[in-house]
A and B are shown apart, each in its own frame.
Chain A
Amino acid sequence: MNLFALKEQLREAGILISFTGSFSHSIIEELGTAVKKYLENAEIQKTAMMDVFSVYIEAAQNVRNYSERRCQAGRTDNDASIVVIARRDTHYRIYAGNVVEEDDKADLGARLDRLAALDKAGLKTAYKEQLRRERAPDEGAGLGLIEMARRASAPLEYGFTPLPDGRAYFSLCIEI
């Protein structure tokens, strides 16, 4: 493998941080600290810095929590996850990818489509409603995707790549 070529590819794509593998909390925390340090030196606005950090945390923790639940259900291929932070012109983009079960695909797509149809005020209403909803045991707050949509400067982009076993690889892109 030509590492110089790989490094050049990453640079051309504006990739600041890319992690692929199994996400542990300590990795999320370490990368988060690194992201923050990098952004503090990058002379960007504090709001943009907070948005990138917040979306990175929500995206990485979503991937981790979903893998964790799948692990408990006997699935073990959670090293297929990826989170990327890239810069394009004046925007930052956070990408997150992971395997999703066939049964979860439709629901996830529908939630993202509903969020994409909302403006900032509609997203705030959705956020407040979810904040006040009773949390089901063993589930998250259900606020992660709404939070990402609120921080984003454009609707969240997503796609599913079918896998041979019927599951799909979910890709999400959030532009700040």
Chain B
Amino acid sequence: MSLERLHQSATPSTPAVDFDPASGVLSLTGESYPENAFDYFRPLLTWVARFVDEGNTPIVAEIALSYLNTSSIKSVMDLLDLLESAHRRGRQATVRWSYADDNERALEMIEEFKEEVTLPFFIVPVSG
């Protein structure tokens, strides 16, 4: 059975999610500090793990997360690790993470994620 598109609207404490298996674009936008980040991210990680195993569509993670609480940070690290291992196995995988250019803390957080992986990782300032 092939993967279905995963779509969720944003709430104040969870991001908008749009994972599209046809285009390979995995989009996450907003802020993340849910009650239980591990429960929240589990289905997202399961989806990505399956997508990484199936087919050969290049993966582009289009991330615009401006604030993550620490348990969300841990979960996003798990997500980047899945993409990193796909990249190391030869799958095309790219991260494009955009942030408002007046948000220095967001930039620091993104840079610390980038330090943890070797896949192509672009940090994109957007004028606020």
Contacts and interface: CB of A to CB of B under 8 A. Distances in A.
Nearest to B37: A141
B53 interface: no
A128 B112 CA distance: 9
A58 B105 contact: no
Interface string B85-108: 000000000000000001111100
Contacts of B13: 25, 29, 32
A47 interface: yes
Contact of B69 (A61, A131, A135): A61
Contact of A141 (B12, B34, B74, B102): B74
A107 to B, nearest CB: 18
Interface residues of A, number: 24
B74 A131 contact: yes
A57 B116 CA distance: 25
A50 B67 contact: yes
Contacts, number: 57
Interface in A127-169: 127-128, 131, 135, 140-141, 143-144, 146-147
Contacts of A47: 104-105
B71 interface: yes
B12 A33 contact: yes
Interface of A: 25, 29, 32-33, 46-47, 50-51, 53-54, 57-58, 61, 124, 127-128, 131, 135, 140-141, 143-144, 146-147
27 contacts: A25-B35, A29-B13, A32-B13, A33-B12, A46-B102, A46-B104, A46-B105, A47-B105, A50-B103, A50-B104, A53-B67, A54-B67, A57-B33, A58-B69, A127-B112, A128-B112, A128-B116, A131-B73, A131-B74, A131-B116, A135-B38, A140-B71, A141-B71, A141-B73, A141-B74, A143-B74, A147-B70
